[in-house]
Chains A and B, each alone.
Chain A
């Protein structure tokens, strides 16, 4: 396994928000984190990325303990896309994306840094917005900027926190295509939290279903996306159909006959 998360636990104060979560990922694969609000998806991502210090457990990337690496070195390996960025002060889209090059440069971006950043902008179809102010963009546009920033960082492990939550359907598909492309072509290992189970089935090789800070199910899409699991964790009734070689989750109204 290229990425190994071992018995990770994390607390805010005395409240455990993540308890004893373990999973692994092959290099270039996409792991999806599923679970209802507050199940611990974001906490897990932040612990893996080193933004939160776990209480127990460790994260190994290619056999190296991420917590023991110097921050600068870790920044070469791990990229992170937050759900949203808030409170930014006048910065242009191009500046935000160029920020992804910071771990790689001394003070000013060179021509190669610029090229990588511009390619990321191009890839997320942000060319028209490149010189607009970030805080004047819509939520979906901002989310794409944040993804471009993480791509410009050229990490080996990419962590995304609900990257499609503000995107329209076309851009959701586009984002999924880009993330899959990173995994397949550039051998980037991806851990992504998602709310949309159908997008998860489209994007991920493996799924980790969290409930109440613990791992409820872990496996490939067919193993995890079952009506029983979903009812147990989310408390909703669904119907699972198989089409185009993957699972589709149909949401049922509670008064609908099944």
Chain B
């Protein structure tokens, strides 16, 4: 008696409730990012108080860069750019991972599956060992060289996989091939490097936020924002591709090949811009989206921004832990992020398995 109507209302109520829950989770965790940012700014070799942090911000924004003491200078010129880069780096790599997992329909994919980390490492090694570049072998050359080779790799993978039909398999396989190719090239360069150069190249591979400066933050920000916006505009096509498959996407008026090409290139550009500055910070591109997916579900309208949040928190926490535990020695964030992220990820996977049974 009147059953269907009651059911329809119930469905509507539950659906809206689950959407509200997702938005709430997103907002709460999103608010954690600035809170952690401020809290973690105080941690390090020199302890900065909340007053120093606020003073540095006030000095930079209101007093035209006039700072009152050394602590404020440390905060403004060393800590804050590092925190900002950590947030951008975590958010960018994690969103890039979520997008690439979406277009390949494969939860084991990360930005580095498609070979860009090896290519960037090769570019960095080239510059470190041979000092090539328009800036005479300085840090800017390393960044530029890493970025250029990462993009070249992306174009190679794009061309090869689009010839093979732009399927998930073709992207992953050509990506893995590119990975091996550039690893080999990188090894050749390192083989002929001196001990000192080799140490610098290996150091680059660790992935670190040491020496983060506002200029770097600005460049990464300028590349990231359009990429992030562009990827988010594809949220619904990503839903269709990852949840429905190619055939269903096609009948919805979506071209799978075109979506894969566009989202893939945006993700790779995003990743390349970040890792050229930071080196290889790998695990966050896999763990960030996974943690987000386990907590908020597979709808890319929520998954993409939530991946940004989980990635940012992960890198922030890892970098801070790396600075604090053996202070004054900084352990590179690329190492800590795996040490920190693996237990979180495994815990969530096991917990979810338990719930399903």
Name A residues whose Cβ lies closer than 8 Å to a Cβ of B.
46, 49-51, 70-75, 78-80, 82, 85-92, 94-96, 99-100, 102-103, 107-108, 111, 114-115, 118-119, 121-122, 127, 130-131, 134, 136, 146, 149, 153
Known interface pairs A71-B255, A118-B11, A118-B12; A88-B242 also in contact (CB < 8 Å): yes
Task: Name the B residues within 8 Å of A46 (CB-CB).
Answer: 247
| CB nearest neighbor in A for B16 | A114
**Minimal beta-carbon separation of A240 from chain B (angstroms):** 35
Among the 9-residue stretches B141-149, B188-196, B295-303, the one with 4 or more Cβ atoms under 8 Å from chain A is: B295-303
Q: How long is the Cα–Cα vector from A92 to B243 in the complex, in angstroms? A: 9
Task: Name the A residues within 8 Å of B252 (CB-CB).
Answer: 75, 99-100, 102-103, 153
Task: Give 12 new A-B contacts, CB below 8 A, not counting A90-B293, A102-B239, A121-B11.
Answer: A46-B247, A70-B253, A71-B254, A75-B253, A82-B248, A86-B245, A89-B105, A89-B293, A90-B298, A94-B15, A114-B15, A122-B8
Q: How long is the Cα–Cα vector from A43 to B340 in the complex, in angstroms? A: 50
A88 touches B12 (CB 8 A): no
Q: How long is the Cα–Cα vector from A122 to B2 in the complex, in angstroms? A: 13
Q: Is B4 an interface residue (CB 8 A)?
A: yes
**Minimal beta-carbon separation of B294 from chain A (angstroms):** 9
Known interface pairs A72-B253, A99-B239; A89-B101 also in contact (CB < 8 Å): yes
B251 touches A79 (CB 8 A): yes
Q: Could you name 23 residue pairs across A and B whose Cβ atoms are closer than 8 Å?
A: A50-B250, A72-B253, A75-B252, A79-B251, A82-B248, A85-B248, A88-B105, A88-B245, A89-B105, A90-B297, A95-B243, A96-B244, A99-B248, A102-B240, A108-B301, A119-B8, A122-B7, A127-B7, A130-B11, A130-B15, A131-B14, A153-B251, A153-B252
Q: Give the tally of cross-chain contacts (CB within 8 A).
A: 116
Q: How long is the Cα–Cα vector from A131 to B235 in the complex, in angstroms? A: 20
B4 touches A51 (CB 8 A): no
Q: Is B107 an interface residue (CB 8 A)?
A: yes
A99 touches B242 (CB 8 A): no
Task: Name the A residues within 8 Å of B247 (CB-CB).
Answer: 46, 51, 80, 82
User: Among residues 207 to 248 in chain B, which have CB atoms less than 8 Å away from a CB atom of chain A?
Assistant: 235-236, 239-240, 242-245, 247-248
**Minimal beta-carbon separation of B26 from chain A (angstroms):** 14
Q: How long is the Cα–Cα vector from A131 to B101 in the complex, in angstroms? A: 23
Task: Name the A residues within 8 Å of B239 (CB-CB).
Answer: 91, 95, 99, 102
**Minimal beta-carbon separation of A94 from chain B (angstroms):** 6
Q: Among B4, B250, B298, point to the contact of A91 (Cβ < 8 A).
A: B298
**Minimal beta-carbon separation of A189 from chain B (angstroms):** 15
B242 touches A115 (CB 8 A): no
Task: Name the B residues within 8 Å of A70 (CB-CB).
Answer: 253
User: Among residues 1 to 39 in chain B, which have CB atoms less than 8 Å away from a CB atom of chain A?
Assistant: 4, 7-8, 10-12, 14-15, 18
Task: Name the B residues within 8 Å of A121 (CB-CB).
Answer: 11
Known interface pairs A85-B245, A115-B8; A74-B301 also in contact (CB < 8 Å): no
Q: How long is the Cα–Cα vector from A62 to B18 in the complex, in angstroms? A: 41
Task: Name the A residues within 8 Å of B61 (CB-CB).
Answer: none
Task: Name the B residues within 8 Å of A146 (CB-CB).
Answer: 248
**Minimal beta-carbon separation of B116 from chain A (angstroms):** 22
**Minimal beta-carbon separation of A95 from chain B (angstroms):** 6
Q: Mark B244-272, 1 if CB is under 8 A from A, else 0.
A: 11011011111100000000000000000
Known interface pairs A107-B235, A108-B301; A91-B243 also in contact (CB < 8 Å): yes
Q: How long is the Cα–Cα vector from A88 to B7 in the complex, in angstroms? A: 27
A51 touches B250 (CB 8 A): yes
Q: Mark B322-357, 1 if CB is under 8 A from A, else 0.
A: 000000000000000000000000000000000010
Known interface pairs A88-B105, A94-B15, A130-B11; A82-B4 also in contact (CB < 8 Å): no
Q: How long is the Cα–Cα vector from A88 to B105 in the complex, in angstroms? A: 7
Task: Name the A residues within 8 Å of B240 (CB-CB).
Answer: 99, 102
Q: How long is the Cα–Cα vector from A153 to B244 in the complex, in angstroms? A: 14
Task: Name the B residues within 8 Å of A79 (CB-CB).
Answer: 251
| CB nearest neighbor in A for B352 | A90
**Interface centre among A46, A75, A107, A118, by most B CB within 10 Å?**
A118
